[in-house]
Amino acid sequence: MTLSSDDQYAHIRANAATQKQETLDRLTRAIATLEADGRPVTTFSIREAFQLFQEHSTHLRREREQALEKRQAANQGKLRKTGKGQATSHVVKVSPRDPLLDYKRPRLVELLHEARAERDEARRQLRTERVKAEQHAQAEQAELEQRYHKLLQEHMSCGITIAKLEAQVAEYLAFMERFRSSLQREEHS
């Protein structure tokens, strides 16, 4: 009894169809669970769920180990015996999920607009604070300049007063000198 090529692979196709249907059933149940919990169902969450499923499925892990054992038995000595580490080395590691990936586009756009508005408001406040600080610094500088000019005028006024007093002292000393000389002449004459 000879089997045609189609019949030879019928059991493989039937097994693949069964596994496909089981996967679809699990995926449908998972989506229903997510929707019941009120969590968004996106391609990212489905892809992540599938990766987690592949990584943690005991059925798939058992199948991988059995396939590895069959290859090792078939090759007897061509391959070194390996432990479970190599059997699961092809498993994709899932990085921690970013919570923003759960949002849908409209919500992300809304969050982006809110963030931009907060940034613009912070910039306006910073600009206002800088203007106030500059105005305060300019006011202080103007006040210091006024004090400096006032002190300079007082210093100049003091300098003029000192010069006048020195002139008066010199005039007084000259008068006293003339007076002494005049007294000395009168005493001698």
Residues in the chain with pLDDT values less than 70: 1-6, 77-97
pLDDT recorded at residue 154 = 93
Q: Are 47 and 97 in contact (CB under 8 A)?
A: no
pTM above 0.75, yes or no: no
pLDDT in the model for residue 68: 81
Predicted pLDDT at 79: 44
The residues spanned by each domain of the chain are 9-95, 103-189
* pLDDT tens, residue by residue, 135-165: 999 999 999 999 999 999 999 999 999 999 9
Task: Check residue 52 and give its pLDDT.
Answer: 73
